[in-house]
Structure 1
Amino acid sequence: MQPVTLSPWPPIRQIIFCLSPTIPPRRQGVTDYEDRDLDNIEVQFQLSVQVPVWRGFLGSASFMSVAYTNRSFWQAYNSDDSAPFRETNHEPELILTWLNDWSLFGWHNVANQIAFNHQSNGRSEPYSRSWNRIYANFIFERDNFSIGLKPWYRIPEAREDDDNPDIEHYLGHFELGGRYRDGDHSIAIMVRNNLRSDNRGAVELTWGFPLGKRVDGYIRYFNGYGESLIDYDESVQTLGFGFTLAQGF
């Protein structure tokens, strides 16, 4: 999966495709997979679209966007089980962005965001997973470096309707991302932590490099919780390589 970009102002339309073989978790915490022989190699496919719908809603430096991400985990080489899609996650968002130009200790706060985010796997009980969040995103740049701090608040649900009441114990309340870019190459890191005594979180490292005019390759390592919604409470380790295709129109 391509790391979330720290740039807050995409083209009018942006579509990103990701294809990445990975090593999925060997142990599954969901009963409908216990009797399946899952392959250690699977394909991740991601489609992301973000479209600004209202420019200048609170001044000339602001705009509102709607976004949607679909991420699928495909057992493409598992011919014994007819190559099923193990999990698909859906993530629609409404994002408010304000561009900025003030500085702090040499870092430029280029933009700030507030967003409503819904994430679910679109399945019925007992395999349904979903949650709603309101998050902020504070984006800073300095020379070739970018940093984004993304804290969130989970919108409470009635306990009898909550598919995953303890998801914050594993995904925490914030995400910290950083990126260094040197020409067409980039190195990115993402960190999550629950800041609890039973410490849990995740770290993601990605090296991006050019393959063509609109094609970038990447190598990605992920370790921790929240790789997919169905396994949010399982610690997984994945190593992947793949490519992204980006098209603005």
Structure 2
Amino acid sequence: MKIKISIWILLGLQLSILDLNAQALTREEVRDTMQVISRFSIHNDNYFVTGVPTNKSINSSTADAKYQISFKQIISRNTLPWDTYAFLTYSQKSFWDIYKDSYPFDEINFNPTIGVEKAFYDSEDRINGWGSLVFEHESNGRDSIYSRSWNRLSAQYSRLLGLKTMLHVRGWIPFGYKSGNPDLIDYVGLGEITLSHDIIPDKLIFEVKVRKGLSNDAKGMIRSRLHYSPFKYPSNQYFMIEWFAGHAENLIDYEQYRSMIRVGYVIKSNEFGILKRNRKNL
């Protein structure tokens, strides 16, 4: 009896593995998907959050609001050389002193990009990763001693680690930054890693991003987020709790250490949904 039970368990595991593999899109299905998805979509998450510092006194000067607008436009649906697709994005992140008189903006960071992206496939010609090569500019749009800007050539690779966890590894070659902020790389480094885990798919998501500066000390940052959707049916709208600790959350005072906890509303991106397998069995 024990032998029969073990055989059935092994067969069940094998069938489950085959079923999971079958859920990943084939090369042809990826190409078909790229033909029908919207050209215009969300790139990074769009959000509005507000919060207070955890490492200093709380008042109208230290509490703030932060919001981001980010979108993506696919330039070419047809594959380019090396099976790539061209796209552009624009992101704008704003820090708003809403608790001060006259509600001034402390800083606005602008981040336009243009690049190419492509799918990667396993030995069975099913998608198992997504990569991009992008030229980026980021600046705060100011002049004189308040000007902050840098350019970078960025490469990113994303893939699933299991059914519920997504890994993003991103690196960059920076240039054009030494005139206004020559030590910026000591704080932002040459790359970052983001890990996102669906605790409850489409309902509760935990995300953490880590970046280490090039200096030998603890310059860098860690940002963790917890997203919760109260809606009965799957939605891209969530409530979010965010904790940021480190440097270079914005450009104007990238040298200053910040520890901020914020809460608010987010419209999440599904840019890498093409990697996610069918969740009906989760």
Give TM-score scaled by structure 1 length: 0.81
Residue 256 of structure 2: aligned partner: 234
Calculate percent identity across the aligned residue pairs: 25
Larger-Rg structure:
2
Contact 2:55 2:259 in 1 (8 A): no
CA contact (8 A) 1:25 1:40 kept: no
Alignment check: 8 A CA contact 1:24 1:40 kept: yes
Question: Following the alignment from structure 1 to structure 2, what is the Cα–Cα distance between the partners of residues 17 and 235?
Answer: 24
User: Contact 1:111–1:138 at 8 Å: present in 2 too?
Assistant: yes
2: CA distance between counterparts of 1:214 and 1:154? 33
1:135 maps to 2:154: yes
Maintained 8 Å contact 2:60/2:99: no
Cα distance per residue 1:76-128 (max 9 Å; x no partner): 1212xx1100100000011211111228xxxx741111100100000011100
Aligned equivalent of 2:145, options 99, 104, 126: 126
Name the structure, 1 or 2, with higher relative contact order (CA <8 Å, separation 6+): 1
Distance in 2 between the 1:111 and 1:240 partners?
A: 31
Equivalent in the alignment of 2:6: none
Q: CA deviation at 1:224?
A: 0.4
2: CA distance, partners of 1:115 / 1:247: 18
> 1:42/1:132 Cα in 2 relative to 1: closer, same or farther (>3 Å)?
same
SS in 1 for 2:65: strand
2:182: which partner in 1? 165
- The 5 Å alignment of 1:8-87 reads 11-15=38-42, 17-23=46-52, 39-58=61-80, 61-79=83-101, 82-87=102-107
Structure 2 counterpart of 1:100: 120
Unaligned segments of structure 2, at least 5 residues: 1-33, 271-282
Q: Distance in 1 between matches of 2:55 and 2:216?
A: 26
- Offset at 1:222? 0.6
How far the C-alpha of 1:11 sits from its partner, in A, is 4.1
**Contact 1:26–1:40 (CA<8 Å) still a contact in 2?**
no
Distance 1:19 1:150, change over 3 A: same
Query: 1:26: how far off?
Result: 8.3
Q: Which amino acid aligns with 2:68?
A: Q
**Which residue of the partner structure matches residue 228 of structure 2?**
209
2:98 and 2:78 mapped to 1: Cα distance? 45
Q: Distance in 2 between matches of 1:115 and 1:171?
A: 17
Question: Is 1:149 the equivalent of 2:208?
Answer: no
* Deviation at residue 199 of structure 1 after TM alignment: 3.2
The answer to whether the 8 Å contact 2:159/2:167 transfers is yes
Alignment of 1:198 with 2:227, yes or no, is: no
Q: Distance in 2 between matches of 1:112 and 1:61?
A: 11
User: CA 1:46/1:20 → structure 2, altered by over 3 Å: closer, same or farther?
Assistant: same
Name the amino acid aligned to 1:94. Answer: I
Instruction: Count the aligned residue pairs.
Output: 222
- Verify the 8 A CA contact 2:94 2:107 in the aligned structure 1: yes
Question: Any conservation in 2 of the 1:14–1:246 contact (CA below 8 Å)?
Answer: no
Paired letter, 2:156: N
* Aligned-partner SS, 1:126: helix
Deviation at 1:48, TM superposition (A): 0.4
Quick one: structure 1 residues 61 and 23, their matched pair in 2 at CA, closer, same or farther if it must change by over 3 Å? farther
SS at match of 1:56: coil
What is the CA-CA distance between 1:163 and the residue it aligns to? 0.8
Q: Greater share of strand residues, 1 or 2?
A: 1
Q: Is the 8 A contact 2:205 2:226 kept in 1?
A: yes
Give the conservation status (yes or no) of the 8 Å contact 1:61–1:100: no
Gaps of 5+ in 1: 1-8, 28-36
